[in-house]
Amino acid sequence: GIQAVEYYSQAMACYNEAIKHEEERENTPLRQRILGVAYANRGILRDRMGDYSGALSDYRESMRLAPEVVEGPGFLVRFMRNQAEKPPTIADRVRYLQAELVKPEAQRLLRMPAIDARQRAYSID
């Protein structure tokens, strides 16, 4: 509802600010990883908000900056979240969105609630 939209808007503002702040810092491997994770998470948020082209752009930027992010959350993060099964990765989602977005709009299936619910935020682990 309305409260979810407000939370999403607040989260988007936080991700935008974090990305802006990190992009102003000296370029180091840690900075690249932090930015990669931030872009992945902002992509997930955009995806949930229905901004699929924005999500796709963020996912691609995440993979460019930090290729290791493609593998998704590591075992330790999944263990701490009590998440035995590996969630879909942003690479999985990129392939899926690319395939769906080339279809005529009436034939696109951009939400898959059972799979989408398994997507989790990334962290630096």
Q: Is 27 exposed, middle or buried (0-12, 13-18, 19+ CB in 10 A)?
A: exposed
Query: How far apart are alpha carbons 80 and 1 in whole angstroms?
Result: 29
Predicted pLDDT at 1: 73
Tell me the per-residue pLDDT of 33-63, one tens digit each, with 9 for 90 and over.
Answer: 999 999 999 999 999 999 999 999 999 999 9
Query: How far apart are alpha carbons 57 and 52 in whole angstroms?
Result: 9
pLDDT tier at 113, thresholds 50, 70, 90: low
% of the chain beyond a pLDDT of 70: 78
N- to C-terminal Cα distance for the chain? 33
Give me the domains of the chain, ranges plus CATH numbers: 2-116 (1.25.40)
Tell me the per-residue pLDDT of 83-108, one tens digit each, with 9 for 90 and over.
Answer: 667 677 889 899 999 999 999 999 99
User: What secondary structure, in 3-state letters, does 38-94 show?
Assistant: HHHHHHHHHHHHCCHHHHHHHHHHHHHHCHHHHHCCCHHHHHHCCCCCCCCCHHHHH
Predicted pLDDT at 119: 65
Inter-residue contact 58 to 74 (CB < 8 Å): no
Mean pLDDT of the chain: 86
Give the global pTM: 0.81
Query: How far apart are alpha carbons 64 and 82 in whole angstroms?
Result: 29
